[in-house]
Structure 1
């Protein structure tokens, strides 16, 4: 390490990982990247990331290894079966920024420490916009020393990092946060659909709720209807900032944890069902706020049935 810079192996260079790696490069770090998708790797190389050739080579050369992958099976498979841990030098810090099951996060931590490495789970909130702007929030689980070492890198990629507790605590915080977000977006969407049915303009409802007790991030930053918030995906045909299938995945993790813990999370469980239906249908390539369109269609279908 020279002048505070690190050599970082970055595995997973998709919509989130690519911009995160680019921000590390911009800050002066050497980033060795790898992704199974050649086009994603090529985009990362254009931003200054070095093509590692393989995930093992990225890990073998790095001081810190960051992973951003779709699911727990990918993280565990990479750690155990594909030799990432075996390739790294003893004591290398592994930071997993994927959103995965708490049990998988703990298993990944155990595998890393058993191999002589150090580990932190650090999932993110903020979507693609936050990844590009370097304004993500990181929720970290693991040891205090590991968090202290990771914090300068997390500060490059985000605006806030919270040490939530031991292994898996970051993932626990992430799924709880996104359960709040998913429920909130459905509630905001239902309110706009109800307002429309009562003859209330979207702007009027926004002007009231955004400064009253209905105020929340789903309303003021990611408003699900076009107009009130010009930067929201609703004004871009619901092109994803945070894609509906990702919300469905996170809510499924929250629902699984709630059932396993015997927590009567009725709204969370129902939100998981609604987002699963939306993601498997018209919302497959849309922002999660686009669920308002299905709620609106559902109201129209119900009105039609009553009229018939």
Structure 2
């Protein structure tokens, strides 16, 4: 086991298996607002910190995977000042690029390296160690973080300065949502023409119209069955709408994704 002391904050459906993969190679400390969220990792051998500050003080590398911009800024305001100079914060949450830039500035003030590193692959990818890690930050920080990222990631790419990883992740997720919306329209068109849905789904999956979004949509009985995933994709699609330039061409992805997402999340 490597001597890099790692920490993780954000023990959710994606963060928990990422942390488990890290723990296979590195000593791991975790913290959560709800102590019960750490119970399974503690039983597997992770240390549980008494506070965010204690976790920051004791780790060389901290992964952060909380849900939204406000949570990221709240956690970092406490965590980063407690981290030792020379340690590193990896921001795995999907947030606005300017939030990632603000976290990097906070880290710089404390002498802490930072990599903006949202991921793709979900819990199955984390469990298998096959996630895609979309990175933004300085080359030296990227090199420092990479050994830990390799515990759960297969494709690990440096895309530019802090915020670049967020931009890539937001575009990727909006494309996934748009593909699911087009899959819905395609299957509805097939049904209107009298083509059996299951047979059409099997055919497209083996043909030129296939996409991961189509495969996911074809497995669900109706849009509301994808409600949890759709809420996360809707959040990311709205982040893209906030940062896109104001041209109609650049808004096409957002407008294609929204109808399906609103249908899947309708109350």
Offset of 1:146 from its aligned partner?
1.0
Match status 1:225 vs 2:222: no
**Which residue matches 1:96?**
91
Match status 1:5 vs 2:22: no
Q: Deviations over 1:281-300 (max 9, x none)?
A: 2xxxxxxxxxxxxxxxxxxx
1:25 and 1:267 map into 2 onto residues whose CA distance is 38
Cα 1:263–1:52 shift into 2, 3 Å? farther
* Unmatched tracts of structure 1, length 5 or more: 227-232, 282-308
Offset of 1:74 from its aligned partner?
1.2
**Which residue matches 2:246?**
262
- Structure with more relative contact order (C-alpha pairs < 8 Å, separation 6 or more): 2
Cα 1:267–1:65 shift into 2, 3 Å? closer
- The answer to whether the 8 Å contact 1:12/1:68 transfers is yes
Which among 231, 241, 249 is matched to residue 245 of structure 1?
Answer: 231
Offset of 1:91 from its aligned partner?
1.6
Which among 19, 22, 30 is matched to residue 21 of structure 1?
Answer: 19
Offset of 1:204 from its aligned partner?
2.7
SS in 2 for 1:138: strand
**Which residue matches 2:110?**
115
RMSD, aligned CA: 2.1
- The answer to whether the 8 Å contact 1:255/1:269 transfers is no
- The answer to whether the 8 Å contact 2:2/2:27 transfers is no
Offset of 1:218 from its aligned partner?
1.6
Q: Deviations over 1:178-210 (max 9, x none)?
A: 111110011012111221222112233234322
**Which residue matches 1:42?**
39
SS in 1 for 2:218: coil
Paired residue total? 264
Cα 1:39–1:277 shift into 2, 3 Å? farther
SS in 2 for 1:225: helix
Query: Which stretch shows the higher mean deviation, 272-281 or 46-55?
Result: 272-281
**Which residue matches 2:57?**
60
- The answer to whether the 8 Å contact 1:101/1:171 transfers is yes
1:55 and 1:159 map into 2 onto residues whose CA distance is 29
1:239 and 1:277 map into 2 onto residues whose CA distance is 10
2:212 and 2:134 map into 1 onto residues whose CA distance is 18
Offset of 1:239 from its aligned partner?
6.9
